Each structure stands twice: as C-alpha cells, then as structure tokens.
Structure 1
Amino acid sequence: MEETDVKEKILKGAEELFKKYGVRSISMDDIARHLSVSKKTLYQHFADKEDIVTMACKAHLEKNAKEFERVMETAKNAIDELAKLSVCLKRNMQDLNPSLLFDLQKYHPRAWAEWVNHKNKFIRCSVVRNLKQGIEEGYFRPEIDPEVIASMRLELVQLAFDEEIFPREQFRLTEVQMQIFDHFVYGVVTDKGRKLYQKYKEVNHHQPSTIL
C-alpha cells in the first residue's frame, strides 16, 4: 500500500473514532487498535495525536465543503438548496458525539482553528449568498439582513453541541440541529417560500437521503 493510501486510511479510521466517541477519550493506542496497525506506523505518518486530529478535521471539512458545493450547483432555487442541505445535515449529524466540538475547542487549538476558519469563511459566505438569492427570488423576506441572519445561523449550529444547554441524556444532537434548522428557515421565508419549503421537505421525506 502506498504511503498516501496509508495516511488516508489512518485519517479515515481516526475520524470514525472521533465522531463516535469524541476526541479527548481516543488515544493513539485506540487508533492503532481500530486500524490493526502498530503505533509505529501512526508515528511514521503523523507527529502526534494533535497532528492526526488537525488533519482529520481538515479532511472532514473539505469533504463537507465539496458536498455543500454539489448541493449549490444542483439546487433549482434557494429553497431547494436549503431543503437538500437539511437532508445532508441530518445525515452528517447521525451518530455524531456532541462532545466533539467542545473537545476540539478545549484540547486541540489547531483543529479548532480549522473549524473556526471554515465556519467564518466558507459557511458564512454560503449562507449569505443563499439568503440574498432567496430574497431576489421572492422566497425570503426582503427586510432581513443576510449578514446578521448568517451570524445567528452559524452560532446556533455550534450551540447545539453545548451539553450544558442540551444534555446528551435528554436531547439527541440530530433532532436539536433539525429543530434549529427549521426554526431558521421559517424565520426567513415569505408565505411563497414556506409553501415551497414544505413541498420539498415532503418530497425528500419519501426519498432516500442520497439526493446529491
């Protein structure tokens, strides 16, 4: 197996563990055991756990960005884009450990910086563009400020991971994110936009989630 293939295999395996168990609880031993490789192999490709966490985070965010770009390219309009994004969001949040974001923020500054950069640049630009497009199409209320609404949207995504507000034993991350997403959409749509969003949601509900 080529060196790049080994590196990708390690990152994929580490990402699986981080998403399921969070980052703090996973050691280099756990990663090696999960992949059935030696710790020596891990250190041949990565300096330490911080390096793996950062690279896995970066790879995950790049994958998400490509997924979102495909949605944007195939969407018929701003509402269709949001309806498709809601399907992606639900799928991506399935079985995701809520402590993941907190672990990055507290223990892995380089990986956290990757997330903050991705959130404040790529996601923010995507939300602002979608809102402006929706206003032009008559689906979103013309009086909303896209920059303000985008900031609210970004912070609410992050808020859903806060286990002090949404304790894991009481709330499921996926359901919290979907509730917040619908609240965001219904807060910006016109009556015309609301009807179309509900129509798209109904269609997506009866189709497999592989809509891209």
Structure 2
Amino acid sequence: MKDKLVDTASELFLQLGFKSVTMDDLAEQMGISKKTIYAHFRNKTDLIDACACSIFDKISAGIDCISDQGLNPIEELYEIKKFAMMHLKNEKSSPQYQLKKYYPQIYKSLNAKKYNMMKDCVLTNIKRGMEMGIYRENLDAHFVARIYFSGVTSLNDDDLFPKAGFPMPQLMDQYLEYHLRGIVTPKGRNILNTIINSNQE
C-alpha cells in the first residue's frame, strides 16, 4: 500500500503541484480514507519527501540506462532530456517551483542529489565528446558541467520563465541547443543539426 500511495501521490503532485494536492484529494483518488494514508506517513511533508525521492530514483535509474546504450554524447543528452520530460509530465504545474517555495528543506536535499547525479553524468558526457572530437578539446569540463546544471535548474524558476510564456518542452530544447552550440566542433555541429532537423520533421 505504501508504494502505491507514493506512486499515486507522485502522479498527482507532478500534474497539479505539491502545494495544490491535499491529503483529501489523494484519499479520494485512491478510494481510501485519510486514516490509511496517515498509517504510512505522519503528515503531508513526509509523503512529499518520499515522492520526491521516488521520482528522483526513477529518473536517475532511467538516465543510467540511457548512458549504458553507447549513444554518441549529443544523442545521449537529447535522449535524457526526452526521458526526463516524459517522467516529469512537462511540469505544467511548476512542481519544482512549488517544492522550493513551500518545502525548502526537501527541495534543498533533492537539489543536492540532482547536482551530484547530473555533475557526474554531464562530466562523463563532456569527456567522451572531447575524446570523440565532437566537443572542443580545450573545454574545462568541470566548469561546463556546473554551468549546465545551473542553467537547467534556472529553467524551473517560474519568475524567470513563466510557464505561460515558456512551455517546458520548448524551453528544454532551446537550452540544450544553446548549451551544445557552445561546445561542439564542426563535426559535432553536423550531428547536432541532424538531430534538430529530424526533431522538426
């Protein structure tokens, strides 16, 4: 029951936002009483913490699977972006923004885990791209990895990028292209242009 609660609550939180969904909403959605929920979680904050960790673990495992496929580094980043967007439901309700605003301790803990996971993933991606000659050989990989993480994180800031004017799928595409065009070689640019053109068809 606990796993089912986390899965259902995670779906609701991603669709409607961490602040917007109440325990009553979750109980009604599952056809159970609130007492059943509180038998597994002391309060809503505990439930949100469990859901945030569950979402992170699923996305992290999926990214590991993509990284193991042996794609070239540019294709790999696009596949990871596609996978993350699918699991975050396009973030129509700005759940990460709500998490930061209303549950800052959970957000801080989650962000630290995201940073470590993404830093390692992007560092490996950059180094492989440099070895393959599709990223510039003079890159400071640690700097680029941190700048990339900083930029991706800022996309979830609803003050900077209001969802009404900046839908997340387009925003992620634009940011990924912006990032890659700054680090690719002419060989890498050909690969990037092919991917962009195929995505537009």
Cα distance, 1:28–1:165 mapped onto 2, change above 3 Å: same
Q: Is the 8 A contact 1:77 1:134 kept in 2?
A: yes
Partners of 2:35 and 2:131 lie apart in 1 by 56
Aligned residues: 201
Structure 1 residue ranges, 4+ long, deviating more than 6 angstroms after superposition: none
Partners of 1:205 and 1:60 lie apart in 2 by 29
User: Pick from 95, 116, 122: which aligns with 2:117?
Assistant: 122
Question: Identity of aligned pairs, percent?
Answer: 27
The CA deviation at 1:103 is: 1.9
The CA deviation at 1:113 is: 3.1
User: Pick from 7, 15, 20: which aligns with 2:15?
Assistant: 20
Give the corresponding residue for 1:134: 129
Q: Deviations over 1:82-107 (max 9, x none)?
A: 23223224434544135311222222
CA RMSD of aligned residues (A): 1.9
Q: Is the 8 A contact 1:93 1:173 kept in 2?
A: no
Give the corresponding residue for 1:209: none
Give the structure, 1 or 2, with the largest relative contact order (CA under 8 Å, sep 6 or more): 1
Using the size of structure 1 for normalisation, the TM-score is: 0.87
Q: Deviations over 1:164-212 (max 9, x none)?
A: 1222222212211221111111111111011123334555667xxxxxx
Give the corresponding residue for 2:103: 108
Using the size of structure 2 for normalisation, the TM-score is: 0.91
Amino acid at match of 2:57: E
Cα distance, 1:204–1:74 mapped onto 2, change above 3 Å: farther
Q: Deviations over 1:47-95 (max 9, x none)?
A: 1101110000001100001110011100332223123223224434544
Give the corresponding residue for 2:184: 189
Q: Is the 8 A contact 2:135 2:185 kept in 1?
A: yes
Name structure 2 gaps, 5 residues minimum: none
SS of alignment partner, residue 9 of structure 1: helix
